[in-house]
Structure 1
Amino acid sequence: MNRSPANAGIVFARAVEFLEWESFEGTDVPSRVQTWDLVLTSDRKWETTYQVHTLEEIGPPVDISGHYGDFFTDIPDGTPVQVNDYMGIDFVWDDGEIVRKIDRRTLRSLIDQPFFESPVRRLLMMALGAAAVAVAGLLLWRQRSRG
């Protein structure tokens, strides 16, 4: 967990205690919370902080959408996105969703293209594969029949 730039430290431990609760439209919410943080500051010194947070007002419940685009409306398509659970994979923003980054031009060129250029080449590759299996089987059979 990183602290804000104003505090410029790294939180190593946080203790949270819920002191008071309120009921709002049938749901209990914490109205007063205290926290203790153990922080390593930017000058490599240990520091502890204590804070009390008080809930001052609660707005009406809001239905939350599972579609990212409902929340982030001003992000242009193609913007790089980092997904922490998949650090080795590149993602981008596309039409309100997080998707894997792909080269659209290369993808378009591959769509509707056969894997093998012609049926003759496909048959030739299948025949070569069968011949390789037959030769391997023959060699194995000869090896076992000698021994």
Structure 2
Amino acid sequence: MNIDIPVAELTEADRELVETAREIADTHSDGEDGIHTVGAAVRAADGSVHRGINVYHFTGGPCAELVALGAARANGARELTTIVAVGNGDRGVLGPCGRDRQILLDHHPGIRVVLPTSHGLATAPVHALLPFATTWSTTEASVPFTP
């Protein structure tokens, strides 16, 4: 099955977000085998930017994207528009893991994600990264996501 993902070219604001995440990874990384190796940046609808860095642990730990989401919420940002994660050591932009994709869809279904593609960096709506996505509910069975 071939699923088309609706991607868009990066805007100048998107490039600035990538640079912010790269700065976090480069400045606060512990190195290749460290606890902190990925930086993330998320833009809110009001234009504010919130930052995060991962906390690796063998039992699991929050990815940089989730830390950035928490920072945004702690600073009062409720509507988020774009998110990106960048690896340390010049690894570049990283696509979100499956857990992050589901959390982004559940909490911010309209968010766009910066990710690497075969044609360079682009943004895509998070729902496009989860074909046949369902949304989480405490009161219902899985409900198919409709944009």
TM-score in terms of structure 1 length: 0.23
Kindly indicate whether structure 1 or structure 2 has the higher relative contact order, using CA contacts under 8 Å at least 6 residues apart: 2
Bigger Cα Rg: 1
Bigger strand fraction:
1
